[in-house]
Structure 1
């Protein structure tokens, strides 16, 4: 399968409008945002766990990154409520489950192969800070290295957001919305802009809260070409 697999072009998906698609594991469904491959894939998805569902133990050969959107995600490392941000680097393993049910944004096989940095962060405990040079924007940092930056952003109502993107950008609306390129984005809308592009957007009357990743698309073609992750939580 190839879905939004041309990383040189703008891509947008309004995931709240999509049907849920069953995964190989009972009780686990997904809405796909981008994908290269079948069940073994470089993938970005919104994944929903029904109460009591679980996956078999597995190793993430290419790493896994996720943000808990609703409910509580669980594995042998603990319980991760909504707002939790987790990075399981290449070669890491776990047994994901959710007794109460949960929904997560998950990205597979998108790490530098040498990355071994583990992150388990409750973003609710991190105070937002003003974004330098960006009026009306506050940030909650989640992760940063030489390759990429991951953060939560809050845009004030009506804020005009303009940002050059030498390494590209990807975002998911968590609350509120914005307009970009003549298109309206609401909760669970996803936008990806290529390296060298520019974001020009205006927050809606309620403002917007977003998950944002930037910088990672400048070398994405090489990583995508070798995308084969045996992770079962795709």
Structure 2
């Protein structure tokens, strides 16, 4: 299956365009934002767990990155409310579930094969945030290739002050706008290398998930399997 599979092209999915499809597990649905492959795929998705739904224990040979958008996501006896960032390296495994229901942002098979450190960050912890140039930043992950962070910015702030070597943006709170188009909470953009001076925070400001660097060095499913 191919969904927004050409990483060199711009892609956009807004909440009005969400198409929920069933997963192999009852009670778990997903919106495919981009995807290359079948059930084992390089994929970016929004995943919705109904209350009391779960997956059986399973491995993630290519790693998994999760940001909890609403509800509470669980791994075994560990529970992660909205705002938690989870990064599980290649070769990890877990048994995900949600007692109350949850919506999560998920990226699969997109980590470098040598990554080995699990990450668990509660972005509600104010000590995780720094302030610079009028905006707040919560670093989530960084290596020689990619940088992942949350940023809170005031109304009218430009998301990218200069050129970017490709980027992914998920609107977590507030909204973004670009000329006449508004991107509300839940909108996902994938941007090829370039400059984006017209992409700014909306009238109430915005909190966004930002990932940069990874599109210039994409990990293939075959490479992640090695």
Which digits, 9 at most, give the CA deviation of each residue in 1:136-166, with x for residues without a partner?
4321111111111111111101223333344
Question: Per the alignment, in what secondary structure is the counterpart of residue 67 of structure 2?
Answer: strand
Decide whether the 8 Å contact of 1:36 with 1:227 is kept in 2. Answer: no
Shift in Å, 1:224: 3.0
Matched, 1:130 2:128: no
Q: TM-score, normalised by structure 2?
A: 0.92
2:46 equivalent to 1:46: yes
Question: Secondary structure at the residue paired with 1:217?
Answer: helix
Shift in Å, 1:227: 7.2
1:116 aligns with 2:116: yes
Aligned counterparts of 1:60 and 1:168: Cα–Cα separation in 2: 25
Determine whether 1:96 maps to 2:96: yes
- How far residue 60 of structure 1 moved from its aligned partner, in angstroms, is 0.4
Other-structure match for 2:152: 154
- Distance in 2, Cα, partners of 1:73 & 1:162: 31
Higher relative contact order (CA 8 A, sep 6+): 1
Residue aligned with 2:113, SS:
coil
Cα offset for 1:174?
A: 1.1
CA-to-partner distance for each residue in 1:94-141, whole Å, 9 max, x for gaps? 10001111110000000001110100111101443224xxx4432111
> Cα gap change, 1:25/1:228 in structure 2, threshold over 3 Å: closer, same or farther?
farther
Q: For residue 167 of structure 1, what is the aligned residue in structure 2?
A: 165
Is the alpha carbon distance of 1:35 and 1:181 closer, same or farther for their aligned partners in structure 2, counting shifts above 3 Å? farther
Pair 1:198-2:199 in alignment: no
Structure 2: runs of 5 or more not aligned: none
4+ residue runs over 6 A deviation: none
Matched, 1:224 2:224: no
Which residue does 2:73 correspond to in 1? 73
- Given the superposition, is the C-alpha separation of residues 123 and 16 from structure 1 closer, same or farther in structure 2, using an over 3 Å criterion? farther
State the distance in 2 between where 1:125 and 1:96 align.
23
Counterpart CA distance in 2 for 1:181 and 1:2 is 30
Partners in 2 of 1:142 and 1:32 — Cα distance? 23
Q: Identify if the C-alpha distance between structure 1 residues 179 and 149 changes in structure 2 by more than 3 Å, giving closer, same or farther.
A: same
RMSD of the TM alignment (CA)? 1.8
Distance 2:87 2:16 in 1: 24
Deviation digits for residues 49-77 of structure 1, max 9, x if unmatched?
A: 00000001111000000000001111126
Is there any run of 5+ residues in structure 1 with no aligned partner, and where? 230-234
- Name the residue aligned to 2:58: 58
Deviations 1:183-233 (A, max 9, x none): 321111001112x3223212111111111111111111xx2363788xxxx
